[in-house]
Amino acid sequence: MNNHINPKYKARFKKRKSLSAKNLLEQLIKGNKVALSQAITLIESNQEKHQQIVDKLITSCLQHSGQSIRIGITGVPGVGKSTFIEVFGKHLIRNKKKVAVLAVDPTSSISRGSILGDKTRMPDLVKEKNAYIRPTASGSSLGGVARKTRESIILCEAAGYDVILVETVGVGQSETAVHSITDFFLLLKLAGAGDELQGIKRGIIEMADAILINKSDGENQKAAKKAQMEFKRALHLYPEKKSQWTPKVKCISALKNKGIPKVWDMIESYKKTTVQNKFFDQNRFKQQKFWLYDSLNQKLKQSFYENPKLKSKLKDYLTQIEKQEISSFKAADQLYQYYIDSIKEK
């Protein structure tokens, strides 16, 4: 296939590929979507040379970033996240906002295909000049995915996007990761048959700054109101948030475009409140500290466990431990000494 490409295009393609960090930065700051996409592709690459370009790029972008509001959105499949993001995004664009949609999908590495971030899921939003939709960042670890998403957020902000929507599916610990890279956490729910609180992880409810009961239209409205009441009651049981924000529960219908402006008003009011009481910036700094410690601890562990020589030593010690020749603690002491020596040797 490649051989049939018009040489002119091929050249252009190559040229695009080889944009330097400086060119990328210039284009990105101007809001060039192609440059933004290329930069995010570099973030997702595991090649050393790409990482070096990205590192420079992100450091330069940092000064241009941070001015947005970052909104985490979660909910089980079928709750209507795509429809919500589509109508919510369009509402924001009408309000002169630039909207970026990113997705964290911990399942995509297994299914080898993204269930999130698929542009065809948001057919109207994707056509908007001021919307940028980026398919899933995936990675081998949650920390890795979070890092890539966090870096993508910085680039989007530098490109002038002022509302960043980070979508995740209610699987595993992805919510925790998304919660720790966003300012406001939205949980989408459906009204059920009275058992609204069943099967929801306590931790996710606790993280939510707002719960939206979606598909609150037609015959569903009564059940939605009931669910709203139940969630309000449940939220009362949690201690007050450090943000001093009382989590809200709202009935909406993304499909019927009902209640959407209220959601944005709420988020603006959240930002105003938390900027005033200083929580907004404190929380962002807290998140940055969390990721600093998390990355550093990962690196410290990896530097031992990914060293083939130490791995083989570890195996030897496990055999000795099994034979009762050495205690676990003494073995740990000696392995640690080997680790230090192996670094010195290099």
Residue numbers of the site for a copy of itself (CB under 8 A)? Answer: 55, 58-59, 62-63, 65-66, 147, 150-151, 154, 285, 288-292, 295-297, 299-301, 303-304, 317-318, 321-322, 324-333, 335-336, 339-340, 343-344, 346
Closest contact distance (angstroms) between CB of 204 and a copy of itself is: 19
Tokens of residue 186, six digits: 């939205």
Least distance from C-beta 154 to a copy of itself, angstroms?
7
Smallest distance, Å, CB 106 to a copy of itself? 19
Nearer to a copy of itself, 144 or 192 (CB): 144
Torsion sign (Cα): 336, 341, 344, 345: negative
Q: Which is nearer to a copy of itself, 131 or 154 (CB)?
A: 154
CB of 36 to a copy of itself, least distance (A): 17
List the structure tokens of 99: 């909207």
Which CB atom, from 32 or from 298, has the smaller least distance to a copy of itself?
Answer: 298
Cα→Cα distances 271→15, 182, 268, Å:
42, 12, 5
d(CA 40, CA 138): 12
3 state SS of 328: helix
CB of 45 to a copy of itself, least distance (A): 15
- Of residues 58 and 249, the one with the C-beta less far from a copy of itself: 58
* 3-class secondary structure, 118: coil
Residue among 204 and 335 whose Cβ is closer to a copy of itself: 335
Cβ of residue 299: shortest distance to a copy of itself, in angstroms?
Answer: 4
Closest CB 283 distance from a copy of itself, rounded Å: 13
Partners of 69 in the β-ladder = 163
**Which residue, among 250, 200, 245, 261, has the nearest Cα to 227 in the 3D structure?**
250
Q: How far apart are the first and last CA of the chain?
A: 46
Cβ proximity of 289 and 324 under 8 Å: no
Max CA pair span of the chain? 72
Q: Which is nearer to a copy of itself, 114 or 334 (CB)?
A: 334
- Those residues whose C-beta lies under 8 Å from the C-beta of residue 243, and which sit 6 or more positions away, are 209, 270, 273, 274, 277, 279, 283
DSSP state for residue 206 in the 8-state scheme = H
- 48/219 with CB nearer a copy of itself: 48
Q: Minimum distance between the CB of residue 307 and a copy of itself, rounded to whole angstroms?
A: 12
Least distance in Å: CB of 297 to a copy of itself? 6
Please identify, using beta-carbon distances, which residue of 83 and 152 lies nearer to a copy of itself. 152
For 69, phi then psi, to 5°, come to: -110, 135
CB-nearer residue toward a copy of itself: 220 or 334: 334
Strand blocks (E) in the chain: 69-74, 99-104, 131-133, 163-168, 184-190, 210-214, 248-251
Query: Which residue in 136, 140, 149, 158 sits closest to 32, CA to CA?
Result: 158
Please name the amino acid found at residue 344. Answer: K
Relative to beta strand 210-214, strand 184-190 is parallel
